[in-house]
Amino acid sequence: MHEFSIAANIVRKLTEVARQHDRKLLGATVAIGPMSTVVPELLSEAWKYVIKGTELDGATLQIDRIPIRARCRECGAVTEGYDPFVKCQACGSMNLQIESGFELQITRAELADGAENTSAAP
Ligand SMILES: [Zn+2]
């Protein structure tokens, strides 16, 4: 279960952002693609556990699930979906060029005075 180390990593980055602005973090959003192998439910659980007793305690984590986008090398069709074992929806080929779906990044950090910092992405 590597979600704990990922959550710890996200917490570390967000703590830095909050300190830079001298504000409390209220919430954050991370974008996760299916190819990142992160299970959103487990990351949510890990988040609550990791922030407990830290200066981020009480902050909410929103997880945006990004679909895989894959282009078929056989027929050129584009398939989107959440299954890491994606197949071309047009011809069934598994010979695909994955164009997105590896995302694992912080896309939003909401600080206590209402200021949003969208440049928190690693
Ligand atoms: Zn195809």
Residue 26 has pLDDT above 60, yes or no: yes
Cβ pair 109, 25 in contact under 8 A: yes
Q: How far is the CA of 93 from the centre of ligand 1 (A)?
A: 5
The alpha carbon of 122 and the centre of ligand 1 are apart by a number of angstroms equal to: 34
Domains observed in the chain = 3-112 (3.30.2320.80)
pLDDT band at residue 119 using 50, 70 and 90 as cut-offs: low
| Confidence bin at 84 (pLDDT 50/70/90) | confident
CB atoms within 10 A of CB 19: 11
pLDDT of 42-72, one tens digit each? 999 999 999 999 999 999 999 999 999 999 9
How far is C-alpha 72 from the geometric centre of its chain's CA atoms?
25
**Which three-class secondary structure state does DSSP give residue 92?**
coil
Helix residue ranges, H only, 22-106:
40-51
- From ligand 1's centre to the CA of 66, what distance in Å? 21
Which residues does residue 96 pair with via DSSP β-bridges, in sequence order?
A: 72
C-alpha–C-alpha distance, residues 112 and 23, integer Å: 6
Q: What is the DSSP letter of 60?
A: E
Segment 67-82 shows an average pLDDT of 96
Q: What is the DSSP letter of 67?
A: P
Cα separation, 80 vs 70, whole angstroms: 6
In the chain, pLDDT over 90 holds for what percent of residues? 87
Residue 115: pLDDT above 60?
no
Q: Report the candidate in 117, 121, 106, 107 with the shortest Cα–Cα distance to residue 24.
A: 117
Distance 100 CA to ligand 1 centre (A): 17
pLDDT surpassing 80 at residue 19 = yes
Helix (H) or strand (E) holding 111: strand 104-111
Where does the pLDDT of residue 113 fall: very low under 50, low under 70, confident under 90, or very high at 90 and above? Answer: confident
User: Residue 10 — pLDDT band, cuts 50, 70, 90?
Assistant: very high
